[in-house]
Amino acid sequence: MPIVLQSAVKILKPIKVMSYGPTYSGKTLSSLYLAVGAVMNIRKCTEAEAYKHIVLIDTEFGRGALYNKIGLYNYLKIDPPYFTEKLVTMLAELNTMEQVDVIIIDSITHFWVKEGGILDQKAMKDKLGGNSYTNWQDFTTKFNKMIDSILSSPKHIFVTARAKTDTALITGENGKATPKSYGLKPELRDNVEYDFDIVFNIDKISHNLIVDKGIPGLKPVYEMATPKTGQEIFDLFTADATLPTRSKVEIANSLRQIAKTNDMIPFVQLELRGRKLEDLNEDELKSIEAILLNNIKKMQVKN
């Protein structure tokens, strides 16, 4: 049978978002506000009403309930051991509930590295013997099933993940070197974050959302999340979004704001090498913007 080419048609699908960052970067609160914005657009409802259609699944020993003052969202808790089957079963039931629009999983890192997680189960099996490499087979299947249950869910899902950290010696103003920890990437199986539609790297200091993976129309960075941010992102995802063109003035203003928010004005001045932002062309401005965002990600200090 001959191949018949057809025009690509965008099919409406549930949004899947991952937010990762160091401890206290604001992953949970950001996810709640993004979820609220999504529900406000789905239900055409108020912010207070939107919380009723959100379920937060907490693996953080009750931390997920600390934000109940901002809205009456639904709350579920998973205690250790963090078997992936627990989450798969819970999602299967939530998928059938019409009143649930958005599920927040805070966080999926526990199913990878904590008690009963994939790495914990793998280590226990290795102790019993066998080939360490082939022992991965069963646990890879378990982890894949959990990720597939998230991606295939008819619900919009926002997950959080802790960031892997690296330690470096930083020389302070007094000339003494002290160790600092930096967030690098999600503490999960390598590259699993790219299964999601949108990936945010959340900066600990400014709580800005830096886009690691996105869709046409997303800005490279968003200031601290609000329900309005969630509405904007949800609209872009669900609509036939086209990539907006940013003028030189808009890019330059974005650079100024990002540099100011993150105390990196001297860094930008160094990159400019005596030039003014107005003197640069569009490509040069975007290049400095990309370098600036990359350095912000590297400077996620965990005190």
Average pLDDT over residues 136-148: 92
Average pLDDT over residues 261-278: 86
> 214 exposed, middle or buried (CB, 10 Å; 0-12, 13-18, 19+)?
middle
Rounded (10°) angle between helices 118-127 and 136-151: 170
Domains plus CATH for the chain? 16-238 (3.40.50), 248-302 (no CATH)
pTM: 0.81
For the chain, what is the mean pLDDT?
87
- Beta strand ranges found along the chain (DSSP E): 16-21, 54-58, 74-77, 102-106, 156-171, 177-186, 198-202, 209-213, 221-222, 301-302
**Beta-strand relationship, 156-171 and 177-186:** antiparallel
Residue with tokens 């690509």: 8
Residue with tokens 């010696």: 169
Q: What is the distance between the alpha carbons of residues 66 and 298, in angstroms, rounded to a whole number?
A: 29
The reported pLDDT for the residue numbered 59 is 94
Max intra-chain CA distance, the chain:
75
Structure tokens, 249: 């003035």
The reported pLDDT for the residue numbered 19 is 96
Measured between its terminal Cα atoms, the distance across the chain in Å is 63
Rounded (10°) angle between helices 248-261 and 265-272: 130
Give pLDDT tens digits for 172-185: 667 777 766 566 78
Structure tokens, 155: 């619900």
